[in-house]
Amino acid sequence: MNSTKKRPHDEVANDHNDATPSSSSYSSSSSTPLQDIPTTQHYAVSYMHRSTVTHSCISLRHGYVLTGSVDGVVKFWKRSATSAAASAAATTTNSSSKETSPPSRCLEFVKSYISHVGPLASLVSSSPDGNSAASVGFADGTIKFYDVASFDVSGMIRTDYRLGKAAVLLEREEGMLLVSVRAWSREELREREKTRRLGKDNNDDNDDGPNPKQVEDESPPPGSILFFSSTTLSSKPLRIVSYHAAPVTSMAYHSQRHWVVSGDVSGVLEVWNVSSSAAAAATTSSDGTNVDHPFQSKMDTDLYALMKKKTYAIDIAMSESYNPSDGAHYGVFAVYSTDRKIRLFSLPNCKLLCIYDERMKVYDGLFASKSKAMGMDAIEYGNRAALEREMEDAHLLSGGVMMNPTTKQTVCTVTSQSEGSHHQSLRMTFDNTGRYLLLPTIVGMKVINVRTHAVVATVGKGDASSLRFLHVGLCPGDAKVDQQLQLARMGGSSAAISHKTYDGNAPPNDSLIIALAYGKRRFYAFSHHDPLLEEEHGAQQSRDVLNEPPDASDLLEASHLGRSDNDYDSTYAKLTTATTAILRTTHGDITIKLFPKETPKTIQNFIGHAQSGYYDNVIFHRIIPGFMIQTGDPLGDGTGGESIWGGEFEDEIRRELRHDRPFTVSMANAGPNTNGSQFFITTVPTPWLDNKHTVFGRVTGGMEVVMAIEGVKTDDLDRPLTEVKILSVDVS
């Protein structure tokens, strides 16, 4: 056995062969070894979901990125030319043109699906080309297949299984999804035990008839791997592989050799063949003796390394490159384990090549020694260390499972009601050459040369102070762009299209890194173009696209981006300049004229809640005939609601805005400066409310709807007996 190298790759190595461009290294596919890996310190653009983004996958062949969030939504994004590459292409295409191309957003939104009820367990694209994709529901047990080229749902399977996070999708004659079975949660175990005891109590000797037959749990045990067909869409798995006795936490697929590397919570790593004959044998043999393994005996490998250290894998990344110098004839695979170490194994002999140490004690030592690699003060490092501890509390670094050391019983620590960040997971990846490993860390995303074991770059280092990147995906090469369409967008050109060739001065390509961050409802795209280092005007604000309604955290972040009182950008201005709101209620529409100049903060709060969906399905909880109708409380009893900043905010009482007429829209409060989310609409003049409540609007349409709501019968506490809801709020 070769000696194992231990290298806490915290110092950024000065690997000139990797980081320095060389004119002799340009080829038709790649200009430099790092040509397909953006190494910028800041992300180029970010896009939003309505909830925390938990998953992403990439289709290399078709140039699509798929993202999934904790609310079960899957979105399709099409790659587009980045700013640097687009400008270079425009210059090459029409050198006489003096116009510059518009700034690129790297990705274009295509379509979204509400695919699952509740969080996603997994979202994967097919290997190796990404012609299809699949999403797995955490709570609903549903599998959905997608045809990436047509960005459409191609099929769905409803199951009764507890489907886990580990999944791979194979491109074969018959599309095959391999998905793990997760462990029972505590709630599920209690319900299961309750059902078992109830059945036992009913099975007594005093029954007149025969004893009822006990219903057996027919679901496969945790540790099983289920095979589902995307062609037949059968709800019953085609095969069940039982190599593991404990829940499987991660899997990776070698498409050339049809090998699967899987790891479970007990620390066991298995490498097995997924071909039809091998898979069939696996259903009857759990020891692997009849399966075409890449090695003769597991005792000759280092696959027991995790079990010896009492740790287990939470992510496995596969590289299929050929490297005979270190015995990795069919590539390598990296295993991220719960002890915060990344172990690199060779294929096919499964020998341990190197260990990368990402434990916090390593960074503590670096910070204590004032290493230049850290580049942060004590306060910033303390904040990052606290965030790492928060991630541990969210069970993100344990793969969402926990084993009782006494009973050896494994419990799923994540439920469908858990916070969005609890459904996130760490994900590393290799580049298309298999030479570099992209690893999310506390200081950014490290790019590691797996042959020299040196860190050649750290991506996102400038944004790592505010974002903890977790999930990394790479889109190498140029985006597939319709050049005629691009010319049309630029105003047209009569020059013939000329395809760019690579030479010593070749421009950067359209490669992207797609990254997810802890607890964020955004995902981040890194390109070779760094908008902050190039000091573009408004780059800090414009790179965060508000493609979804902002919530309180988005508004708070926007207010801290260095804007002066007279320097609002268009996105921020929409929150304080909208003049009309339409309440879509169950009784009809109510049109409200808003007063953004007189009450800017109240309007900002109202519009922020309206655009985020805060008021959707909120009832009118208090109706007093001859006085007013009140709403805006998500609890529905008059005791709830808060501002978009959290808590309460101050009054904005103006002398010219008074309660001197009916159909006045005003903020409800519990005293001075206690405004939250509740508001009311008067049905008569109410001058006694002047100087006590903030008037921020007047009803200009739908007065009859207001009067109809006022006429709803109520109880002694002014609560309507018939529910009246706000369905949605439109602002303009």
Q: What is the mean pLDDT of residues 606-622?
A: 91
pLDDT for 608 beyond 70:
yes
**715 Cβ contact partners less than 8 Å away, ≥ 6 residues apart:** 721
37 and 151 part of one domain = yes
Average the pLDDT over each of 78-82, 131-135, 215-219, 474-478 and give the range with the smallest value.
Answer: 215-219
Grade residue 347 by pLDDT with cuts at 50, 70 and 90. Answer: confident
**608 Cβ contact partners less than 8 Å away, ≥ 6 residues apart:** 550, 551, 552, 555, 575, 614, 644
The whole-number pLDDT of residue 145 equals: 97
Which of 445, 615, 647, 546 lies closest to 38, judged by CA?
Answer: 445
pLDDT for 112 beyond 80:
yes
In a domain, 432, yes or no: yes
Of the candidates 79, 622, 659, 698, the residue annotated as catalytic is 622
Q: Does residue 509 carry a catalytic annotation? A: no
User: What is the domain-level CATH number for residue 593?
Assistant: 2.40.100.10
Q: Report helix, strand or coil for 124.
A: strand
On whether the pTM is more than 0.85, the answer is no
pLDDT for 357 beyond 60:
yes
User: What is the domain-level CATH number for residue 53?
Assistant: 2.130.10.10
pLDDT for 390 beyond 70:
yes
**Do the beta carbons of residue 230 and residue 175 sit within 8 Å?**
yes
22 and 161 part of one domain = yes
470 and 584 part of one domain = no
Q: Give the residue from 459, 475, 491 where a domain finishes.
A: 475
Of the candidates 66, 680, 696, 698, the residue annotated as catalytic is 680
- The CA distances from residue 686 to 27, 627, 709, 723, in Å, are 78, 8, 18, 26
pLDDT tens digits, one per residue of 280-296: 433 333 444 334 567 78
Q: How far apart are CA 258 and CA 170, in angstroms?
A: 9
168: amino acid identity, one letter:
V
The whole-number pLDDT of residue 380 equals: 86
Q: How far apart are CA 474 and CA 57, in angstroms?
A: 9
Q: Does residue 721 carry a catalytic annotation? A: no
Q: Does residue 680 carry a catalytic annotation? A: yes
Of the candidates 630, 657, 675, 679, the residue annotated as catalytic is 630
The whole-number pLDDT of residue 204 equals: 54
In a domain, 489, yes or no: no
Of the candidates 172, 540, 627, 654, the residue annotated as catalytic is 627
pLDDT tens digits, one per residue of 677-723: 999 999 999 999 999 999 999 999 999 999 999 999 999 999 999 99
Q: How far apart are CA 246 and CA 270, in angstroms?
A: 12
pLDDT for 520 beyond 90:
yes
pLDDT for 33 beyond 80:
no
Q: What is the mean pLDDT of residues 552-570?
A: 53
Segments forming the whole domain that contains residue 243: 5-186+219-475
Q: What is the mean pLDDT of residues 389-394?
A: 88
In a domain, 193, yes or no: no
Q: Does residue 693 carry a catalytic annotation? A: yes
The whole-number pLDDT of residue 539 equals: 60
The whole-number pLDDT of residue 483 equals: 52
First to last CA, the chain: 69
Of the candidates 41, 409, 483, 669, the residue annotated as catalytic is 669
Of the candidates 60, 238, 387, 689, the residue annotated as catalytic is 689
pLDDT for 571 beyond 60:
no
Q: How far apart are CA 86 and CA 38, in angstroms?
A: 15
Q: What is the mean pLDDT of the chain?
A: 81
Record the tokens describing residue 67, joined without a space.
């993202």
Q: How far apart are CA 425 and CA 120, in angstroms?
A: 11
Q: What is the DSSP letter of 642?
A: -
pLDDT for 567 beyond 50:
no
The whole-number pLDDT of residue 419 equals: 82
Q: Does residue 622 carry a catalytic annotation? A: yes
In a domain, 498, yes or no: no
**Do the beta carbons of residue 162 and residue 181 sit within 8 Å?**
yes
Q: Give the residue from 455, 475, 495 where a domain finishes.
A: 475
The whole-number pLDDT of residue 20 equals: 32
> Sign (positive/negative) of CA torsion 399, 404, 410, 413?
negative
The whole-number pLDDT of residue 274 equals: 87
Which of 714, 642, 611 lies closest to 724, judged by CA?
Answer: 714
Q: Give the residue from 430, 455, 475 where a domain finishes.
A: 475
pLDDT for 220 beyond 60:
yes
pLDDT tens digits, one per residue of 626-679: 999 999 999 999 988 999 888 899 999 999 999 999 999 999 999 999 999 999
245 and 110 part of one domain = yes
In a domain, 505, yes or no: no
Q: Does residue 169 carry a catalytic annotation? A: no
In a domain, 126, yes or no: yes
**Do the beta carbons of residue 124 and residue 72 sit within 8 Å?**
no
Domain count, the chain: 2
586 and 455 part of one domain = no
470 and 611 part of one domain = no
Q: Which residues of 651-681 are buried (b: 16+ CB within 10 A; e: fewer)?
A: bbbeeebbbeebbbbbbbbeeeeebbbbbbb
Higher pLDDT, 26 or 3: 3
In a domain, 107, yes or no: yes
pLDDT tens digits, one per residue of 293-333: 677 888 999 999 999 999 999 999 999 875 555 555 788 99
Of the candidates 49, 693, 696, 698, the residue annotated as catalytic is 693
Q: Does residue 66 carry a catalytic annotation? A: no
Q: What is the DSSP letter of 576?
A: H
pLDDT more than 70, % of the chain = 77
Grade residue 506 by pLDDT with cuts at 50, 70 and 90. Answer: low
Which of 510, 509, 528 lies closest to 26, judged by CA?
Answer: 509
What is the rounded (10 degree) CA torsion for 147, 162, 165, 273?
A: -80
